[in-house]
Amino acid sequence: MTKKTLVVVESPAKAKTINKYLGSDFQVLSSMGHIVDLPKSRLAVDVENSFEPDYITVRGRGKILEKLKKEAGKSKEVLLASDNDREGEAISWHIQNAILKTYPNIEIKRIVFNEITKQAIKESVKHPLLIDMQKVNAQKARRVLDRIVGYYLSPLLWQKLKKGLSAGRVQSASLKLICDREEEIVSFIPQEYWEIHAIFSKDKKKFKTKFHKYNNKKPELNNESETKHLLKELQKQTYKVTDLKTIERIRKPQAPFTTSKLQQDSSNQLGFTTDRTMKIAQTLYEGVDIGKETIGLITYMRTDSTRISDLALREVRDYIQSKFGKDHVPKSPQEYQNKKGSQDAHEAIRPTSVDRTPESVAQYLSPEQQKLYSLIWKRFVSSQMSNARYEQTTVEITGGKAVFKVTSSKILFKGFLEVYGTPYEEGEENIKLPDLKKDDDTALNELNPEQHFTEPPPRFSEASLVKRLEESGVGRPSTYAPTLATLIKRFYIKRQQKQLLPTELGKLTNQLISQFFPDITSVEFTAKMEELLDKVEEEKLDWVKILKDFFSQFIPTVKHAQEKMSNMKNALDEQTDEVCEKCGRNMVKKLGRYGYFLACPGFPECKNSKPIPLGDCPVNGCTGKLVAKRAKKRQFYGCSNYPNCEFTSWDAPSENSCPECKKPLFYKSVKGKGRILACKNEKCQYEESERKSA
């Protein structure tokens, strides 16, 4: 019997797709991700001996590892095909080590690819590589560093604040950003200011302008009396056009997606969380059955490079010319700079074939897959299209010491806007002006004063937080989604209408860590550590030295915190008016692993606990309260009178009450309407848009 070549990938979906490409001479198996890792129960790092990690087989993966070794022993050779990044390299290294312990003479090689297509897979098999030990060392350094931080900080938080908490480098720095922003918002003092808009006309055609200058200075109107005084002055003047400039502007398309940019646009345009975006992208990458074949529709989705292959560049330029014409293809390809410190192992995220348009594959995709694939396809195609061209006209109208200004843009050539983007950038207005010339007289029709107040900085959304982390150099594309998921899971932050707010637990945790471990929450320090890990991969720095330098400063800080940090246990407990029906005490609002609940302070004598009421049950005539419940790992909402009342809802209740029946309103996504607030009282059925309630 002829021996086969064993190919080991990370996921079963990827194994299924690749198996179809390679044929009967190959066997493709999945490791299900990391098969070896540090144990959860102990430090498992020899800090006295070069920080060598003590790896064990991940719980539940023992049978998988044994099968891989058994099949390797029967194979001609082994090709390790985990993802082409630090984590993937480490996975391959661990599998290689495990196999060689049992079969020391078997030939093991590494293959890498950026997309799961027949051509890419067969090409990678023809050009096998060796394990890149610098990538492995960079991953090892990151894993050990994060284990040291977590091992010493988490128990400290358990001891001083609450069991079940955790701390980490990227996690703690991200939490501090969110908490600092909330402090800015709370401490912000609004300042009054006024603006004046004027409506002028020429030949009976009206147009709107904005008060621009007074006595050659930018106007500062701080109150109503100042504004009224100025309005009287402005009313007296006669006005004419004193300056008119028309220039041509170009607008360049944006680069194809990196991971963080995909997460940002997916959040802003599609409303997907970062975690959801990455899960959907994973399915598009690993393979979709499109009728005649199963194929990866996009390239690898964890990348911070904007580079695309020469082949993909030729294909997209040919496609643009055939679809839109020669004028939509720039003479030279559009070029984009990678941000400083980016990894260039992978291309940007793009469709594996530009000919697989969103419309042509729509019938094979779920609605979410279709939306994300369409976003990726359009961004990639538009990135290599010609610039958009505008004609921008700026007009200044003067009367006495006052100058009003208006800018109007007209599209001359849409270019890439045929595929992706909006005609006007944020803040621009498509104002149609009458035919104006310098020195033309204009009639003042209206003066409209508007009172405003300065606003605090906005809370972070997932998109804006990812953008800030990326700009600051904190973490890597693969870390953003799991970091946010962890912060929410630990109840450090919560989502409220797409905004990220710190909880009281998050604020207190951040306060303690920031006070005693300022480096851990420092964006600058965390970004510096990322740079050092990059240097390990580039063979410019020894991974052990990074850990020695960090550990020598970290341990004295831990000892100081153990001695000086105040005991904050029960600091978040809050007495309520809710009476325990078993012993009569006033119940206490406590924080558990799934959020707040009510508990009797008489514990352990009285062990009564119950969910916090979130409002009245929406069922007409029911006197029960709406409470949060859990089914497996998912939260839902039900009536406290169950089983007498069987009301349940997966939709989350809002803090708003129905204006008609006073029952709670629930957040709900409705096709064609987007996110709405809906009343679930069958006799009411009130609805309003989410924006109206904001």
C-alpha to C-alpha distance for 395 and 414, rounded to whole angstroms: 24
Output the CA angle 182-184-187, nearest 5 degrees: 105
Instruction: Check if 300 is active-site.
Output: yes
User: Among candidates 434, 440, 428, which has minimal Cα distance to 398?
Assistant: 440
Which tokens sit at 100?
């060689």
Contacts of 361 (CB under 8 A, 6+ apart): 288, 290, 297, 370, 373
CA separation, residue 63 to residues 31, 214, 637 (Å): 10, 79, 39
Long-range contacts of 529-532 (CB under 8 A, 24+ apart): 529/145, 529/169, 530/341, 530/473, 530/474, 530/475, 530/476, 531/341, 531/473
- Helix or strand holding residue 210 (H, E): strand 205-214
* Whether the Cβ atoms of residue 358 and residue 377 lie closer than 8 Å to each other: yes
* Whether the Cβ atoms of residue 667 and residue 690 lie closer than 8 Å to each other: yes
Half-sphere exposure of 654 (CA within 13 A, CB side): 24
* Whether the Cβ atoms of residue 529 and residue 145 lie closer than 8 Å to each other: yes
User: Among candidates 244, 240, 194, which has minimal Cα distance to 220?
Assistant: 194
* End-to-end Cα distance, the chain: 69
C-alpha to C-alpha distance for 462 and 499, rounded to whole angstroms: 7
Q: Does the N-terminal peptide bond of residue 604 adopt cis geometry, omega within 30 degrees of 0?
A: yes
Tell me the backbone φ, ψ of residue 442, rounded to 5 degrees.
-130, 145
Which tokens sit at 75?
């194979």
Residues β-bridged to residue 366:
none
Q: What are the residue ranges of helices labelled H in 538-585? A: 543-564
The helix/strand/coil state of 452 is strand
Residue written as token pair 């803090």: 655
Q: Any idea what DSSP says for residue 558?
A: H
The three state secondary structure string of 42-94 is CCCEECCCCCEECCEECCCCHHHHHHHHHHHHCCCEEEECCCCCHHHHHHHHH
CA separation, residue 327 to residues 247, 300, 310, 380, 619 (Å): 21, 31, 21, 18, 62
Tell me the backbone φ, ψ of residue 550, rounded to 5 degrees.
-65, -50
Catalytic residue among 55, 152, 214, 300: 300
C-alpha to C-alpha distance for 351 and 369, rounded to whole angstroms: 13
Taking the CB of residue 650, how many other CB atoms lie within 10 A of it?
11
Taking the CB of residue 669, how many other CB atoms lie within 10 A of it?
11
Query: What residues act catalytically?
Result: 300
